[in-house]
Homo-oligomer: A and B are copies of this chain.
Amino acid sequence: NKPTSSGYGNRGMSLEDDIMATNDYYLQAKMAVVHKKPTPVQIVNVDYPKRSAAVIKEAYFKQASTTDFNGVYRGLYVDFEAKETRNKNSFPLSNIHQHQIDHMKAVLQHGGVCFLIIKFTPLEEIYFLEGTKLFTFWDDQFQGGRKSIPYSYICEEGHLIPFHFQARVNYASVLDKLYF
């Protein structure tokens, strides 16, 4: 959960940066309200100097208990996690944590929409994978199933997210296709 470095992928921006830019565009264009949650930090020690801003002097990264992004799109509660991989042939499930799966399953039970945005960095391809399809692979790995989702499966069962000049990771177009 440390800040991702830029200069990743040939557009010079990380997947998270591109999604945040997309969300800014959606907000300005009055299409959606989706934000990235701040990185959770355990604050241990804070200095309050006179006449200047408080300085956090000691803090630690905490494991996030939910996914990275959530918000509202056309009345739908949407919730997703974004991950990039340098692999070409599969998406390793080790990129996801059990508590994120638990969170996504709970969201689904309450009528929200959950999905994963996966970028195969070497291919410059970004996919939308519905939560339910992720859960199948996730649960199977504990029954002797594979520890990754094949690229071929994601190509066929996921949805390629189109690039749009302003909505660089235009996931709303997939939501339109699936839910409206």
Contacts and interface: CB of A to CB of B under 8 A. Distances in A.
Interface of A: 2-3, 27, 30, 32-33, 35, 37-41, 43, 46, 53-62, 65-66, 70-77, 79, 103, 106-107, 109-112
A56 B59 contact: yes
A75 B106 contact: no
Q: How many copies does the complex hold?
A: 2
B60 A30 contact: no
Given A54-B61, A70-B70, 17 more contacts: A2-B46, A32-B110, A33-B103, A33-B106, A33-B107, A33-B112, A35-B65, A39-B41, A56-B58, A57-B57, A59-B59, A72-B107, A72-B112, A73-B110, A75-B111, A76-B77, A76-B111
A30 B163 CA distance: 37
Contacts of A73: 110
A38 B35 contact: no
Nearest to A106: B33
A53 B57 contact: no
A58 B55 contact: yes
A111 B72 contact: yes
19 contacts: A3-B43, A33-B110, A35-B66, A38-B38, A39-B43, A41-B41, A41-B43, A41-B56, A53-B60, A56-B60, A57-B57, A59-B59, A70-B71, A72-B77, A72-B112, A74-B111, A75-B77, A75-B110, A76-B111
